[in-house]
Amino acid sequence: MQTTKYPSGDPETQPAAPHRIAMWSGPRNISTALMRSWGARQDTVVCDEPLYAYYLLQTGITHHPGWQEVVEVHEGQLPEVLAWLTGPTPAGKSIFYQKHMAHHLLPGMPVEWTDQLTNLLLIRDPREMLLSLTKVFESPSLEETGLPQQLLLFQRELDRTGHPPVVIDSRDLLQNPEAMLRQVCERVGVPFDPAMLSWRPGPHDTDGVWAKHWYDNVWKSTGFDTHRPREGDLPAEMQDLLKQCQEIYDQLAAAKLTCPTAGC
């Protein structure tokens, strides 16, 4: 069995009503910066892509940087991971924030366990996302964008509760972090904390072992960056994928939080 960097929770030290917040993001988004934001709170413990090792083991993918170390260090057995994500909150904190990549939800994987979490979706303009993603993977599939999985989670939450999950567009968040984070906190039932607007630079203990391959910009940061539109055109062979992504994105974006201030 793989070891894990993440601490287990102790039932004896649990708060009365812990919040388990799952942020489901597509690739090449600001998910790590958002994890930093929540990790800056004293009442919160965060975890970094807890399904990544399972995803690598199940798909047999070996072209991700540092894949061998990921499956050696992080837990890759699904029952153990899910029990941890839905169990006692680590360190007795009142908030357990989970940074998830939506594409880690593989076909046939159970999703009922997500009903025990407060699920949020982090989306990004598909053209900008694909322009960034194709710098890393030459021919990504629709499933690798995480959008179909985000739509599945969106519909499941809507069917189960009668209300859509919180949907956040990264562009809106970058244009006015405080206003957007205040809305997010209100929607998930926790007080806003100004500490969420800044963090210390460099590696954090809660980073996955893959951080040295991917987190260079985040390690240099001390807060949310400004939004910079990504310039460029996708090649002709990517247009069908862009159309598929845009259709799903538009469905999700119809329910996104809107910034209440003129700064957005």
Residue labelled with tokens 């040295």: 212
| Distance between CA atoms of residues 21 and 81, nearest Å | 15
The candidate with the shortest Cα–Cα distance to 46, out of 213, 226, 196, 153, is 196
Please report the beta strands in the chain, taking only residues with DSSP state E, as ranges in sequence order: 19-25, 44-48, 95-101, 118-123, 166-169
Closest to 28 measured CA to CA, from 140, 164, 191, 154? 140
pLDDT for 2 beyond 50? no
**What percentage of the chain carries pLDDT values higher than 70?**
92
106, 82, 212, 169: CA torsion to nearest 10: 70
Contacts of 137 (CB under 8 A, 6+ apart): 144
Token pair 């329910």: residue:
255
139 vs 254: CA distance, rounded Å:
28
Q: Which comes out higher in pLDDT, residue 196 or 90?
A: 196
Residue 184 DSSP class: H
Q: Is residue 210 over pLDDT 70?
A: yes
Average pLDDT for 219-231: 90
Among 18, 3, 37, 169, CA closest to 90: 18
Give the number of C-alpha atoms closer than 13 A to the C-alpha of residue 46, restricted to the C-beta side.
23
Q: Find the range with the poorest average confidence among 90-94, 195-199, 252-256.
A: 90-94
The residue among 58, 153, 56 whose CA lies nearest residue 113 is 153
Residue 224 to residues 32, 74, 199, Cα–Cα distance (Å)? 10, 28, 9
Lowest-confidence segment of 21-35, 48-62, 105-119, 230-244 by average pLDDT: 230-244
Q: Which of 55-59, 64-68, 120-124, 192-196 has the lowest mean pLDDT?
A: 64-68
Tens of pLDDT, residues 109-165: 999 999 999 999 999 999 999 998 888 777 889 999 999 999 999 999 999 999 999
Cross-strand pairs, 101: 25
Q: What is the pLDDT of residue 163?
A: 94
- In three-state secondary structure terms, 12 is helix
Q: Do the strands 44-48 and 166-169 form a parallel or antiparallel pair, or are they unpaired?
A: unpaired
Beta-bridge partners for 167: 121
Q: Are strands 95-101 and 19-25 parallel, antiparallel or unpaired?
A: parallel
Q: Report whether pLDDT(19) > 70.
A: yes
pLDDT of residue 232: 82
| Average pLDDT score over residue span 74-89 | 94
CA atoms within 13 A on the CB side of 222: 1
